[in-house]
Amino acid sequence: MFPLIVAHIFVLIIVASVAFHFWSPWWWTPVASNWGGMDDTILLTFWVTGAVFIAVCLFMAYCIWRYRYQKDRKAEYKPEDKKLEFHLTWLTTLGVIVMLAPGLVVWHKYVTVPEDALNVEVVAYQWGWKYRLPGEDDILGKTEIKFISDENPFGLNLKDPNGKDDILVDSGDLHLQIDKPVKFLLRSIDVLHNFYVPQFRGKMDMVPGHVTYYWLTPIRTGDFEVLCAEFCGVGHYAMRGRVIVDDEKNYNQWLAQQITFEKMLAQNKIDNKSLKLVKNIE
């Protein structure tokens, strides 16, 4: 009796897991970037691994019941079965290849940035986000952490002429234009952070002293939340931001309202206003 119950409970675990998968309300948000391929790879992995999980567990449940202890049963004595082991090995290898190959193809796309992508710099600090876009010259000026000051919160190199027209978004939301590829250049001025918008799928840590990157193309307009996805101190959970994907008209309108580095420098000098460099969370 007990073996039968145990076998049933194991079957029930499988049934419940599958049911949970299909009927639970929790699933990923609709994708808002070109990285639908990541979702597809997850699904592929899901089917392959799900099948293995179900097969192994059901087989186990079957054994529990079918080979339950009986005093006069003789277990089989067969230390090895080379043929079976061989078949299982190549079958597993095949399954692994089926999952890995498409994954690597998508990864290749992820790390190969299209030529025409717009460079957008994201600067992370404890605990918030700032953004910098290239000005008319399409080139971002050079930066260094040691140049950062109240007057120059992005740490732009004053000697680099390319930086003068850079557009700075010191507080506020980042806007992106739909269907235009962007390359995020990720920078941190203090500790590790990670620029993550769940609907975009992409992710990359920001490392002080390095510029890391990833790229994407937004495919639908809307208002998205930015989360920090690498632990960065007590304010980590509150390090949120906003990205808004606009159509061309709204995007250009927004862009026109932003100030350039030159203007900011002038302003900061005139008002002698000290912009608070590091904002603590309230």
Partner 1 sequence: MSDEFEHKIETKADTIADAGSVTSGSTAGIDYVPAHERPDQELYHSHSWWTTYVFSQDAKYIGIQYALTAIGTGLIGLVLSWMMRLQLAFPGLGILEPSSYYQFITMHGMIMVIYLLTALFLGGFGNLLIPLMCGARDMAFPYVNMISYWAFLLAVIILLASFFVPGGPTGAGWTLYPPQAITSGTPGSSAGIVLMLISLCVFVAGFTMGGLNYIITMLQSRARGMTLMRLPLTCWGIFTATVLALLAFPALLVGCIMMTLDSLLGTSFFMPAMISMGEHLSYDGGSPLLFQHLFWFFGHPEVYIIALPAFGIISDLISVHARKNIFGYRMMVWAIVGIGALSFFVWAHHMYVSGMTPWFGYFFATTTLIIAVPTAIKVYNWVLTLWRGNIQLTLPMLFSLAFIVTFVNGGLTGIFLGNVTVDVPLSDTYFVVAHFHMVMGIAPILVVFGAIYHWFPLITGRMLNEGMGRIHFWITFLGSYAIYFPMHYQGFVGVPRRYFEIYDSPYIATSTLHLNVFITIAALIVGAAQLVFLFNLIYSARAGEKSEKNPWKANSLEWLTPEMPPGHGNFGKELPVVYRWAYDFNVPGADKDYIPQTVPPSEVRSAKVEKT
The pairs formed by 84-91 with CB atoms below 8 angstroms and a separation of 24 or more are none
Task: State the Cα–Cα distance between residues 253 and 49, nearest whole angstrom.
Answer: 48
- Applying the rule CB under 8 A, the residues between 185 and 224 that interact with partner 1 are 186, 189-192, 194, 196, 198-199, 201-210, 212, 223-224
Q: Report the residue number, 14 or 191, with the smaller CB distance to Cu ion.
A: 191
For residue 182, what are the β-bridge partners? Answer: 118, 216
Phi/psi-derived region of residue 165, left when phi > 0, alpha when psi is between -120 and 50, beta in every other case:
alpha
Picking from 68, 53, 75, 260, the residue whose alpha carbon sits closest to that of residue 164 is 260
Centre a 10 Å sphere on the Cβ of residue 15 and count the other Cβ atoms it contains. 13
**30 vs 233, beta carbon nearer Cu ion:** 233
Cβ atoms within 10 Å of 23's Cβ, excluding its own: 7
Partner whose footprint covers residue 27, from Cu ion, partner 1, none (CB < 5 to 8 Å by kind) = partner 1
Q: How far apart are the first and last CA of the chain?
A: 61
How many residues line the site for partner 1 (CB under 8 A)? 104
Q: Which of residues 187-206 bind Cu ion (CB under 5 A)?
A: 193
Choices 88-96, 103-111, 226-234, 249-257; region in contact with Cu ion by CB under 5 A: 226-234
Residues 48-87 that bind partner 1 (CB under 8 A): 49-50, 52-53, 56-57, 59-60, 63-64, 67-70, 73-81, 84-85
Residues in 102-131 at the binding interface with partner 1, rule: CB under 8 A: 102-104, 106-107, 110-111, 125-127
Residues touching Cu ion: how many (CB under 5 A)?
Answer: 5
Give 84 or 266: the residue with its C-beta nearer to partner 1.
Answer: 84
